[in-house]
Structure 1
Amino acid sequence: MQYPLRLRFKILALAPQCFVEDASGAEVCYVKQKLLRLKEKVEVFTDSSRRELLCTISADRMIDFSASYTFRTPDGQVMGAVRRRGLKSLWRASYEILDAKGQPTFEIHEENPFAKVLDSVLGEIPVVGLLTGFFAHPRYAVRQEGRTLLRMTKRRAFFEGRFDVEQVEPVAPQDELGIVLSLLMFVLLERSRG
């Protein structure tokens, strides 16, 4: 993958859609989330044509306070998971990225919770809410053993959500897809919370 990656969410669409592209503009993956599910399940495709299923992401429970979201290949093999840290995530979003054996390997942390609060509060005000994406930019870090490897920042956008993922330190190629899927699920979950 060529960094920075761009995650674009279509906000005005009936069902949430996300496009993930690399620096060259090539699609990394595409998600069209299904509405009204009791237990979260997301299908991730290789591109927006939705011809080839890359993986599925499914929750282990209906209430997602400390839910784990498992990534599975089309034939059912576990690739990894992302898990929300219940109480730790009330003020500052905090998730663990797990490997295929269920061992924590990376963490996703919100760098400045005030930015998210500002974005969320102003987003509820009519007219001002349409413009909040132009001045509130929450940032999130993917860390391993205290080192920041990737940083995701909400960018200015009108009528869509846009996040850029920049590489701070090298990431092993075998870990990249799991991290991208974790960030994708992270944003889908955090968007619903503000």
Structure 2
Amino acid sequence: MHFPLQVAFKRIALSPQIRVTDARGTLTHYVKQKLFKLKESVTVFADEAQARRLFEIRADRVLDFNAAYRIADAAGKPIGVVRRHGMRSLWRAHYEIQAADGLLLTVSEENPWIKVLDGLLSDLPIIGLFAGYWLHPAYLLTDRSGTLVMRVQKVPALMEGRYRIDAHAALDGEARDAVLQGIFMMLLLERTRG
């Protein structure tokens, strides 16, 4: 897998779907959220045909204000958890991603004013259609010492969500898998912004 990763939400789909490609253009993940579930459930596949399941992400409760999303591999082995901090996320999106090996990353919105502008502009006729092209929220993933590990930023796109994931520190194995699945879940929750 070669960074940066490009994340694109499928334009026309009943349930949210994400295509993830690496710097070479190779499809690395295909993420599909299950529709009409009381508890959020997301399946991550290796291909668009959905023939090979890689990961499963499930919410621990029905309401997701302070939900924890458990990440398991294809065999059902837990590899991590992503937690959304509801009250802290009112001003600035705030999540924590914890891998099974103990790695803990904090995800926070780089500039909370983007959320405010998006809230104001998205409801305006005509201007609201183009707000997603001008407003680009970014999320910083930092470790316990405050070191930047990854950065996720929305890139300009009309009528669809596109994001770029840049790695600033090396992560391997289950830690990298847990962090990426945590990012995908966060993007599903934050996709309507910007």
Deviation at 1:11, TM superposition (A): 4.3
Amino acid at match of 1:171: A
Partner Cα separation in structure 2 for residue 133 and residue 55 of structure 1: 29
Deviation at 1:79, TM superposition (A): 1.0
- Tell me if structure 1 keeps the 8 A contact 2:65–2:86: yes
1:40–1:192 Cα change, 3 Å: farther
Partner Cα separation in structure 1 for residue 81 and residue 123 of structure 2: 32
Partner Cα separation in structure 1 for residue 9 and residue 123 of structure 2: 18
Amino acid at match of 1:60: D
1:68–1:177 Cα change, 3 Å: same
Map 1:139-150 → 2, pairs under 5 A: 139-144=138-143, 145-150=145-150
Question: Given the alignment of the two structures, is residue 10 of structure 1 paired with residue 4 of structure 2, yes or no?
Answer: no
Map 1:1-194 → 2, pairs under 5 A: 1-100=1-100, 103=102, 105-144=104-143, 145-168=145-168, 170-174=169-173, 175-192=175-192
Amino acid at match of 1:47: D
Partner Cα separation in structure 1 for residue 177 and residue 72 of structure 2: 12
Partner Cα separation in structure 1 for residue 191 and residue 40 of structure 2: 14
Question: Could you tell me the TM-score, scaled by structure 2's length?
Answer: 0.92
Deviation at 1:193, TM superposition (A): 6.8
Partner Cα separation in structure 2 for residue 11 and residue 94 of structure 1: 27
Q: CA RMSD in A?
A: 1.7
Partner Cα separation in structure 2 for residue 11 and residue 85 of structure 1: 29
- Tell me if structure 1 keeps the 8 A contact 2:161–2:191: no
Q: Which runs of 5+ in 2 are unaligned?
A: none
1:12–1:126 Cα change, 3 Å: farther
Q: Could you list the structure 1 runs, at least 4 aligned residues long, displaced by more than 3 angstroms after superposition.
A: none
- Tell me if structure 2 keeps the 8 A contact 1:60–1:69: yes
- Tell me if structure 1 keeps the 8 A contact 2:118–2:135: yes
Q: Which runs of 5+ in 1 are unaligned?
A: none
Taking only the aligned residue pairs, the percentage that are identical comes to 42
Aligned residue pair count: 192
- Tell me if structure 2 keeps the 8 A contact 1:72–1:78: yes
